[in-house]
Amino acid sequence: WLDVQPGERVLDLFCGLGNFTLPLARKGAQVVGVEGDDAMVVRGRENARLNGLDNVEFHGADLHGDFTGQSWAKEGFDKILIDPPRSGAEEICKYLTAFGANRIVYVSCNPATLARDAGVMVRNGYRLVRAGVMDMFPHTTHVESIALFERDQH
């Protein structure tokens, strides 16, 4: 859904140890993974090294407020992937427009917070283009949701 092209700058928020970051880098994108857990940042860097990827960087940051002033955020991004915890990313969604990304993919384990955060993104200039649900945990009430947003050109 993100449709990453070689040379694009991609931001992966709540990247963990690189489950999405590394495959995006393999497609030739310059990927910046940002995670709030420093131990995961260390593991992400090690995973990139073990996979021979030099077009990816990992940074630790508090992802619950304005982080647009961080050094890694200065150049902007073509695309953004965000995979927040169950509580969602309401505050962060307010700042995503600052990066100039034309496309955002939001992966969520909580449809309620995805719906709330989608409202924030729509109010900030994005439109919901596509959405889906994956039942990765059969016989439970838990589902994974994915939503594609594109910058509204109107």
Q: Give the residue numbers annotated as catalytic, written as ranges.
A: 109
The 3-state secondary structure of the chain reads CCCCCCCCEEEEECCCCCCCHHHHHHCCCEEEEEECCHHHHHHHHHHHHHCCCCCEEEEECCCCCCCCCCHHHCCCCCEEEECCCCCCCHHHHCCHHHHCCCEEEEEECCHHHHHHHHHHHHHCCEEEEEEEEECCCCCCCCCEEEEEEEECCC
